[in-house]
Amino acid sequence: MKMLRTLLWTSLAAASVTAHAMNGVDGAVKGMGSTNVNWQPLPEMPPIPADNPVTEPKVLLGKTLWFDKRLSKDGSLSCNSCHNVMAGGDDNRPNSIGLGDKHTDRSSPTIWNVGYQSVQFWDGRAKTLEEQAKEPFISPAQMAMSSWDALLERLNKMPTYVEMFKASFPNEENPVTPDNIAKALATYQRVLNTPNSAYDRYVKGDMMALTEQQVRGMKTFAEAGCTTCHNGANFSGQQKEGGFFMKFPLFSGSDYDKKYKLLDDYGRYDITKNEQDKHVWRVPTLRNIALTAPYLHNGTAITLFEAIKVMAKTQSNIELTNDQITDIAMFLDSLTGEFPVQTMPRMPAALGMTFTSKKK
């Protein structure tokens, strides 16, 4: 498999598949930034909020809700429609397709390892997974339910759901609430983690886990300043209070601004209306990035190669050689982790439930 993946990259540059001991990762290359990087493997679990512990009934409820298309207006979309857990956790599109073929403005972020993100949504408008989980159901461009009441009414029509909510929130009299829907979904998402990537095995001491080229790419990744933002176990920056954000493009004025439409979306500014938040974004994870093309918040970079080239120019103001870019791409490929085996949830029976929408 590694061989095959590598072959796909050889159109870009000659790639070595020889496993190789770490060398020179802590060195420095002239003109590039510091490489004193604290490389961390993925912890077993992301932070768990005290008021929403991970329990088995809640994970099962969350997984069931996650796949339930009946929680969208016309019964055609579930959370998984745009954040596909059977794939890289996204939909491989520059934007996502919501109800009635509406298209969202930004590219769907991966759901894998999302518990390690400091804030949620590209613009960080939700502080927690619980807060995030409430938006897509009633967003007209997504699942488009007319109201929370309409959603609760559907859930309450399915006795198995009511039982699952009771099992998940045993101390509550009427547990079918928006807050508990969000809590169950957040709990499911917190177990969607992909440990044991080649990178993780390498930083834990398995010197054969990365190829020579990947080790070289790791070094260049650090030297090019990528770790300024993409640091920590999830390569999404520190999990600090308030979120980890960065301006993008930091160095504007290049041809890329127009080519990749980098100035079309104000990002966090749209939420805060603070001038300094213009073009400011949450730093996304790089884990499983090889699986989640296209790239950037607007999906304008089709290949990882392009994305690396753009980021080096706009964030570090450097031009990487094709070889350096390819090395980094191969290193990023080592961030593809192990996806846990999951059983499919059964959708609770809904006797006589029917969804309609107008023909076009």
Q: Which two tokens stand for residue 175?
A: 């547990």
Question: What are the structure tokens assigned to 236, written together?
Answer: 């999404």
Q: Alpha-carbon distance 346 to 63, whole Å?
A: 10
Task: Work out whether 130 is an interface residue with a copy of itself (CB under 8 A).
Answer: no
Task: Please give the size of the binding site for a copy of itself, defined by CB under 8 A.
Answer: 59
Q: Is 81 in the site for a copy of itself (CB under 8 A)?
A: yes
* Least gap, CB of 5 to a copy of itself (angstroms): 7
Nearest residue to 67 via CA among 57, 54, 77, 59: 77
67 and 78 Cβ atoms separated by less than 8 Å: yes
Letters for 184-213 (x = contact with a copy of itself by CB under 8 A, - = none) are ------------------------------
Q: Residue 190 is which amino acid?
A: R
For residue 267, report the phi and psi dihedrals to the nearest 5 degrees: 65, -130
CA 155 to chain centre: 28
- Kindly write down the DSSP assignment for every residue of 257-280, as one continuous string: HHHTTTTS--BTHHHH--GGGTTE
Q: Among residues 4, 18, 241, 255, which is the contact residue for a copy of itself, using CB under 8 A?
A: 4
Q: Is 299 in the site for a copy of itself (CB under 8 A)?
A: yes
Establish if 14 lies at the interface with a copy of itself (CB under 8 A): no
Binding-site member from 42, 61, 85, 226 for a copy of itself (CB under 8 A): 85
Tell whether residue 109 is a contact of a copy of itself (CB under 8 A). no
Identify which range of 229-237, 245-253, 310-318, 346-354 contacts a copy of itself by CB under 8 A: 346-354
Range 309-344 burial, b when 16+ CB lie within 10 A, else e: bbbbbbbbeeebeeebbbbbbbbbbbbbbebeeeee
8 binds a copy of itself (CB under 8 A): yes
In the complex, which residues of this chain contact a copy of itself (CB under 8 A)? 1, 4-5, 8-9, 67, 69-70, 74-76, 81, 84-88, 91-95, 97, 100-103, 159-160, 290-291, 293-294, 299, 302-304, 333, 336, 339, 341-347, 349-360
